[in-house]
A = this chain, B = another copy of it.
Amino acid sequence: MRHWHWLIEWDTPSLGHIKAVKRVVYSGRSKYQDIMVIETYEYGVALVLDGKTQSTEADEFIYHEALVHPAMILHGAPRKILILGGGEGATLREALKYGSVGKAVMVDIDEEVIRVSREYMEFMSRGAFEDKRVNLVIGDALDYVFNTSEAFDVIIADLSDPIAEGPSYKLYTREFYAKVNNILSPNGVFVTQATSPTNTPETHAVIYNTVRSVFAKTAYYHIFIPSFEALWGFVIASKTLDPRGLNPKDVDETLARHGVKTRFYDSTAHAHMFSVPRNLREFIEGETRISTFDNPVYMPA
């Protein structure tokens, strides 16, 4: 029996990924986006927003460990953390693994994604939303960052991509990063998802260059996500701590000290992610544009 029910995720009008749907677990629309939870044949249950796979049961650990741990490890002993976006709750789950964390604020605009994730994908948050250290704010990350008077040790941006008509493009601008810099504690670390360095290399490079225009210490890194069938990129930054100077060996020691268990991330994975091959390195470092409120850089539609 051939499959009849499919998702096609388009990278461009001439390139896509075609994936059979085993079962529709949930399907609906929030104020902000189309939300589907489907069961796939290869990756288990998957969250799909506006037709784009966000996270799957089989490999969400790779994305979320890659996003969260380098920043936490670079800081070394984070106490207050801020998560922007991250509706599934898996970014929160990873951050809460550090016993040093006493307070975690999570700000997400779409309550419906959180509700659907908690109801149909418990494997994402695994109780994180019930943790007493968590303060969940339903609202706009931009508003929160511009209005808070608190300071954070680690700020993690797990936001939707900067698309032209989308709600997120301001969250990838110099103005926003300047404000993030202001609310970081002196040794604070900021990390953001930074789109795919191979699917949208210009967007990735502009995000890096924009972060670099604000923070003293920066690095870009990436990892392959099987269910995206693509590399995914991140940009990490700090006023004081150099992410390029992190000794891979310290990674394993710091993880052990905090008692943090990982499946993907360790010193070798860290070396892998931060060792960017020549062609990508030259492309990213050659970028000169900076995204601003007045002159934002969008992803190709």
Interface residues of A (CB under 8 A from B): 1-20, 22-24, 27, 36, 40-42, 50-52, 61-62, 198, 223-224, 226, 229-231, 262-266, 268-269, 271-272, 275-279, 281, 301
User: Would you give the shortest CB distance from A36 to chain B, in whole angstroms?
Assistant: 8
Contact A271 B275 (CB under 8 A): yes
Task: Tell me if B13 and A3 are in contact (CB < 8 A).
Answer: yes
Min Cβ gap A223→B in Å is 7
By secondary structure, the A interface counts as mixed
A239 → B minimal CB distance (Å): 26
List of B residues within 8 angstroms of A41 by Cβ: 12, 14-15
In the assembled complex, the CB of A56 is this many whole angstroms from the nearest CB of chain B, namely: 12
- Known contacts A4-B7, A19-B14; is A198 also within 8 Å of B223 by CB? no
The answer, among B2, B50, B51, B264, for a CB contact under 8 Å with A279, is B264
Would A277 and B269 be within 8 Å (CB), given that A15-B20, A19-B15 are in contact? yes
A36–B145 Cα distance when bound, in Å, is 43
Number of copies: 4
Complex A-B: 23 CB contacts under 8 Å: A2-B13, A3-B14, A3-B51, A4-B8, A4-B10, A4-B51, A5-B7, A5-B51, A6-B6, A6-B7, A14-B19, A16-B17, A16-B18, A24-B27, A223-B277, A229-B230, A263-B278, A264-B277, A266-B278, A268-B277, A269-B277, A272-B272, A272-B275
**In the complex the two chains form, what is the Cα distance from A27 to B230 in whole Å?**
29
**CB-defined contacts of A229 to chain B, threshold 8 Å:** 17, 229-230
Q: Is there contact, CB below 8 Å, between B266 and A277?
A: yes
Expressed in whole angstroms, the minimum distance between the Cβ of A58 and any Cβ of chain B is 11
Q: A62's contact among B7, B279, B281, by CB below 8 Å, is which?
A: B279
Count chain B CB atoms within 10 A of each CB in A11, A20, A229, A263 and give the residue with the most. Answer: A229
Q: Bound complex: CA of A23 vs CA of B226, how far in Å?
A: 27
Nearest-CB residue, chain B, relative to A196: B226
- In the bound complex, how far is the Cα of B59 from the Cα of A49, in angstroms? 30
A15 touching B18 in the complex, CB below 8 Å, given contacts A5-B7, A277-B268: yes
| A17 to B62 CA separation, bound complex (whole angstroms) | 22
5 nearest interchain CB pairs?
A4-B51, A14-B20, A269-B277, A272-B275, A24-B27
